[in-house]
Structure 1
């Protein structure tokens, strides 16, 4: 990518009436969405159901480059009413929120008290503690039972993840300790990273039914309703969700981004061009995705928000990947890779400032942002550990530094969830962001 070169106009726009800042663009009616040719969208790396974690990718500081003029796209088309019946929730009740429960038939999570370990010798599974060297006062294990639990996401008091053993989506309430299976046979999750998202009352994921057909499913937590929102052919994927919209990448050869309006059930294309789009997300009327509509084809981060008459591209030289947006829609974090170096970047829509969050030696593999914190996992110690960056102070604090991998973190309202490989399989853990920039405690110390 040539930095600061003129950008080719993105034929992408969020022109539906709900984006008041872009409402002035003209819309062109199109026919209802037809089934496009079959081709799968590019899948992001790791962890797979085997599973593995993302390998290091790798960057230099770059200021955000200019904004591209908006080209109007088509007006919304009506999506057929969903026909998928909701699954019957399965729950386990508990009266002790500190000891979360799991789906019926699952044993309780093991105690997280630390045990003595011989350096270089992995203890038996029933003696392996929760992640050590944690700055958080308490690390709680949310999952247990056979098989890997993958790709956790969090919104306020709700945590969702994939259960590899049962090929299902689990939803855990942090207040009650209840864990619910929210997928059914027709909506079995694909269980790849970035194929699960949550926001407020909604959970969305990419599913593959027994016939091998891939689709996007939306679960409403308050009502227990499950519905299919993308019924196209091909392999749609990489969904994101907010309180108002679902976004995903189409399963055709173009890989355009589509937007589903939850309130009125309409679907419209957000992008309509021949360039690759990946990892769309949305929050508070702001839309983001990675886009390679540049002279040399590198991925940049595209941002469309109320009040903008153009789509902004962030990144400059190098590959800009894995974007995440805060719940208020004001901050975007992503990973940049350039010259075999990687780092985390942060853009603030309210100040128009871009910040280099990490140095180039950390090799981050995942990042998330919410409120005043950015959380990420990286390889600086030879395995994946977790770190929190305080946006207000500019201070980075280790959250967990452990001999076992801790990966794919997510954050909401100051609470972090992630998957840790402390028990010879991946389990889901959670902890609150430590107050201030407290240094990590001694290895094996109390959590």
Structure 2
């Protein structure tokens, strides 16, 4: 009797596959998504701190820095120089960026939102350059070639003094800062370092030089970065200074890159859905979920608390968007089953409805029989495979096609 019913369901599903391949619903954009700014110009490299978001914008024929205030819903142009200003970073009342007003070699400038004044905090000369600034509190870090090679320098906004953090290595780049912690990559040795500003001395080698770490970020002693595994694929890794534990957060065979971290949330760019989307890992629940699923690519993320800003290329020009990370409802045991459903490919959708750790035809049958119950009792986003905001037959068809 059960086999006969399963056979009938299979026939129904096959017909649904035929019907639903004619009209497929496009995935919806990320929940709670907000478009930032007033222009449709090319935008890039957003950074967020509290209610303020900065980015680079080419609406004036060159790259300028703009600011959006979420509290007042107002936009402010920060730079007016006719040359390019790029790669901004914001923390509180301070904004820093790369500035090309003195030639092809960039320098670092700082803007004070309280006094509405800017000042140059590094000098490139004819041959040197300063790039990749990052600010947190009253400290700015950046890479500087003033010694003929790359070192990480720090500028103290209060004392207006700058210093080299570590000159033992001569090829340092990709700095990031959070409070007392600074991280960077040694280009020659492929080692990721964690440095304590107050302690000084030698930095901690987070990696051993046998891999290819890149794009590090740090928050409260926890470091995340992308590293190459399984050939050309990159995964997201975490190091916790408090415990000394290092672990791979995303052991799935796709390419993950450019992680950012704030509190217990790690966000990165992932191509497992065919386009570059943002995914989130909760360090408390140890759950990975898909954060954005817009029609284009999402990348260049910045995070502060539960707000994530990023670039999305869905339109004519790449634009800055923001999504808010709320508490994500977790699935419950499906009616008639004994185990929690699982997300076998970590895309935020729970295709393993019977909780046996694999997607099989029984999951499709359960979905077919319990469609109404799932729509009433489960978090819709966890089973909405076509992204139309509801549970329907097309979701069942998509699970069937995944087998």
- Is TM (by shorter chain) over 0.5? yes
CA contact (8 A) 1:148 1:425 kept: yes
CA contact (8 A) 2:236 2:257 kept: no
RMSD between superposed Cα atoms in Å: 2.5
Q: Distance in 2 between matches of 1:186 and 1:265?
A: 26
How many Å apart are 1:288 and its aligned residue?
1.2
Q: Distance in 1 between matches of 2:53 and 2:239?
A: 26
Q: Distance in 2 between matches of 1:246 and 1:276?
A: 19
Q: Distance in 1 between matches of 2:228 and 2:162?
A: 33
Change (3 A) 1:437 1:290: farther
Taking the TM superposition and a 5 Å limit, the aligned residue runs for 1:23-422 are 132-134=28-30, 136=31, 138-166=32-60, 167-185=63-81, 188-189=84-85, 191=86, 195-209=87-101, 211-233=103-125, 234-252=128-146, 253-273=148-168, 275-292=170-187, 297-305=188-196, 306-307=198-199, 309-316=201-208, 317-326=210-219, 329-338=220-229, 339-422=231-314
How many Å apart are 1:446 and its aligned residue?
5.4
More helix by share: 2
| Higher relative contact order, structure no. (Cα contacts within 8 Å, ≥ 6 residues apart) | 1
How many Å apart are 1:299 and its aligned residue?
1.7
How many Å apart are 1:314 and its aligned residue?
1.1
Q: Distance in 2 between matches of 1:334 and 1:170?
A: 28
2:388 aligns to what? 445
SS at match of 1:393: coil
CA contact (8 A) 1:151 1:161 kept: yes
Change (3 A) 1:119 1:406: farther
| Greater Cα shift, 348-357 or 377-386 | 348-357
Q: Distance in 2 between matches of 1:220 and 1:133?
A: 35
Residue ranges of structure 1 left out of the alignment (5+ in a row): 1-117, 122-128
Deviations 1:231-257 (A, max 9, x none): 132221011111121111113431111
How many residues are treated as equivalent by the alignment? Answer: 310
Q: Distance in 2 between matches of 1:320 and 1:347?
A: 12
CA contact (8 A) 1:388 1:397 kept: yes
CA contact (8 A) 2:277 2:297 kept: yes
Deviations 1:97-121 (A, max 9, x none): xxxxxxxxxxxxxxxxxxxxx9799
SS at match of 2:214: strand
Change (3 A) 1:221 1:355: farther
How many Å apart are 1:144 and its aligned residue?
4.2
TM-score w.r.t. the length of structure 2 is: 0.71
